[in-house]
Structure 1
Amino acid sequence: MTPIARPGSRQHGVRRRFGLLLVPVLALALAAGAVACGSSDSSTTGRDVIDTLRVGVIGSTNVISGPVGFAHQRGDLVKSLKPLGVNKVEVFSFPNGPDLNQALIGGRLDVASYGDTPALVARGSGLGTRLLTINQFNNNAGVVAKDPSITSLDDLAGKKIGVPKGSYIDRYLQGALQEKGIRATLIHLYPADQEAPLSSGEIAAAALPAVIPSVSLQAFEAKGFHLVDSVYRDHPKLAGTSATVSSDEFLAKHPDFGAAWQKLNADSVRYAKAHWDDYLDFEVKNSKADPQAIRDAANPNGYSEEPFPSAGVELLRGTKEFLVAQKSIRDDFDLDGWFYRPSQSADKS
Structure 2
Amino acid sequence: MKLAFPRLLAAGLLVLAATACGTSDADAGSGTLRIGVIGSGVGNKLNGAVGFLSERGGLLPELKAAGVTKIQVATFPNGPDLNQALAGGSLDLATYGDTPALVARGKGLPTRLIGLSQINLDAAVVARKGGPTSLRELAGKRIGVQVGSYIHRYLLAALQQAGVKPAQIIHMYTPAIVAALDKGSIDAGALVSADRYAEEQKGFKAIDVASRDHPDVLGTSATVVTQKYLDAHPAIVRAWQGAQVKAVRTAKADWPAYTAFAARVGGYRPEVTLKTTLPAQLPDEPFPARGRTLLEGTKTFLVQQKLVAEDFPLDSWIAPGAKA
CA deviations 1:236-270 (Å, max 9, x no partner) are: 11100001101111111111111111111111111
Relative to 1, partners in 2 of residues 1:322 and 1:41: Cα closer, same or farther, differing over 3 Å?
closer
Query: 1:98, 1:29 → 2: CA distance?
Result: 8
Relative to 1, partners in 2 of residues 1:63 and 1:34: Cα closer, same or farther, differing over 3 Å?
farther
Question: Are 1:196 and 2:153 counterparts?
Answer: no
For 2:314, give the aligned amino acid: L
For 1:221, give the aligned amino acid: E
Q: CA deviation at 1:32?
A: 2.3
Relative to 1, partners in 2 of residues 1:149 and 1:189: Cα closer, same or farther, differing over 3 Å?
closer
> What are the residue-to-residue correspondences of 1:140-151 with 2, within 5 Å?
140-151=122-133
Quote the residue 2:271 is aligned against.
292
> What are the residue-to-residue correspondences of 1:124-139 with 2, within 5 Å?
124-139=106-121
Quote the residue 1:279 is aligned against.
258
Contact 1:6–1:187 (CA under 8 A) maintained in structure 2: no
Residue 241 of structure 2, aligned match among 251, 262, 276: 262
CA deviations 1:163-220 (Å, max 9, x no partner) are: 000000000000000011100121001111112222333210000011xxxx211111
Quote the residue 1:81 is aligned against.
63
CA deviations 1:73-100 (Å, max 9, x no partner) are: 0111111112332221111011211121
Quote the residue 1:250 is aligned against.
229
Which stretch shifts more, 319-328 or 87-96? 87-96
Quote the residue 1:322 is aligned against.
301
| Matched length | 319
Contact 1:28–1:99 (CA under 8 A) maintained in structure 2: no
Query: 1:125, 1:23 → 2: CA distance?
Result: 11
Contact 1:142–1:208 (CA under 8 A) maintained in structure 2: yes
Query: 2:97, 2:191 → 1: CA distance?
Result: 13
Question: Are 1:54 and 2:34 counterparts?
Answer: yes
Quote the residue 1:237 is aligned against.
216
> What are the residue-to-residue correspondences of 1:153-232 with 2, within 5 Å?
153-184=135-166, 185-210=168-193, 215-232=194-211
Residue 17 of structure 2, aligned match among 30, 33, 39: 30
Contact 1:30–1:102 (CA under 8 A) maintained in structure 2: no
CA deviations 1:25-77 (Å, max 9, x no partner) are: 42243242799xxx9531xxx41x24111110112321211111111101111
For 2:60, give the aligned amino acid: V
What's the TM-score, normalizing by structure 2? Answer: 0.93
Relative to 1, partners in 2 of residues 1:3 and 1:30: Cα closer, same or farther, differing over 3 Å?
closer
Q: Which runs of 5+ in 1 are unaligned?
A: 8-21, 345-349
What's the TM-score, normalizing by structure 1? Answer: 0.86
Quote the residue 1:13 is aligned against.
none
Relative to 1, partners in 2 of residues 1:116 and 1:323: Cα closer, same or farther, differing over 3 Å?
same
Quote the residue 2:46 is aligned against.
64
Query: 1:166, 1:315 → 2: CA distance?
Result: 17
Query: 1:254, 1:50 → 2: CA distance?
Result: 12
Q: Which runs of 5+ in 2 are unaligned?
A: none
Relative to 1, partners in 2 of residues 1:327 and 1:253: Cα closer, same or farther, differing over 3 Å?
same
Query: 2:237, 2:65 → 1: CA distance?
Result: 13
CA deviations 1:297-330 (Å, max 9, x no partner) are: 1111111221110000000000000000000112
Residue 118 of structure 1, aligned match among 97, 100, 106: 100
Query: What secondary structure sits across from 1:277 in the alignment?
Result: helix
Q: CA deviation at 1:109?
A: 0.6
Contact 1:125–1:331 (CA under 8 A) maintained in structure 2: no
Root-mean-square deviation (CA, aligned residues, Å) is: 2.0
Quote the residue 1:19 is aligned against.
none
